[in-house]
Chains A and B, each alone.
Chain A
């Protein structure tokens, strides 16, 4: 039982390049989330998916797209990377729907855009 896994762990992109961050969970959780965390700051929600087939914008969705491929996988795509997207990206999942349960986080992807 690996929990929440993310790939890659580290990535360096040049401005304008695109990439997809992968996230998978093996806990049969319904809801999945993507956050970014900038130095000295908390987690800001980019997108979330309350259930397979649905996605919703969070606090900072601009410049990102997501795909809930199936119940296990939730990917985050940067179409044209910008230096402002340099951050640590965390994926998380939560049991059930609604907000009654805690989140389980992946180890993060550290992205630098030059």
Chain B
């Protein structure tokens, strides 16, 4: 079993739709959690950090459930520009990061 698993997708949604991605992790010692966005043939860039209390940034909401060991990302009112691959990442306190395989989102007009 992989340490970090994501919905494989792809997700194809119309503009304006709400879409949610989930990510589960197996290492209970994991300390920090992130969502990254990766455009085609580009490097990943931080989208959001994920906190136990949940956090929101505009149309994006991230949640962490430590008891069930999963994190989620909700995108509301999808835009064409949201089309990308979304990677979840889990860090241990030793500084090691493990990434999921990514979920590809395509937003269509």
Contact of A99 with B43 in the complex, beta carbons under 8 Å: no
Within 8 A of A (CB), among B46-76: 46, 49
Question: Which residues of B does A touch, CB under 8 Å?
Answer: 4, 6, 30-32, 34, 36, 42-46, 49, 87, 89, 91-102
Residue in chain A with minimal CB distance to B44: A105
Looking at chain A, what size class is its interface with the partner chain? 20 to 34
* A61: Cβ under 8 A from any B Cβ: no
Contact of B96 with A105 in the complex, beta carbons under 8 Å: no
Complexed CA–CA distance, A105 and B39 (Å): 13
Residues of B within 8 A of A74 (CB): none
CB-based A-B contact count at 8 angstroms: 69
Residues of B within 8 A of A53 (CB): none
Q: Chain B's nearest CB lies how many Å from the CB of A39? A: 11
Complexed CA–CA distance, A59 and B97 (Å): 10
Q: Chain A's nearest CB lies how many Å from the CB of B100? A: 5
Contact of B34 with A102 in the complex, beta carbons under 8 Å: yes
Within 8 A of B (CB), among A29-61: 31, 33, 35, 40-45, 48, 50, 56, 58-59
Residues of A within 8 A of B42 (CB): 107-108
Q: Chain A's nearest CB lies how many Å from the CB of B63? A: 17
Residues of A within 8 A of B45 (CB): 105
Complexed CA–CA distance, A102 and B45 (Å): 9
Q: Which of A35, A44, A94, A102 contacts B95 (CB 8 A)?
A: A94
Q: A107-B42, A108-B43 are in contact. Are A42 and B102 (CB under 8 A)?
A: yes
Residues of A within 8 A of B91 (CB): 99-100
What are 20 A-B pairs at a CB distance below 8 A?
A31-B95, A41-B101, A42-B100, A42-B102, A94-B95, A94-B97, A98-B95, A99-B32, A99-B93, A99-B95, A99-B96, A100-B93, A102-B34, A102-B46, A103-B34, A103-B44, A103-B97, A105-B43, A105-B45, A107-B43
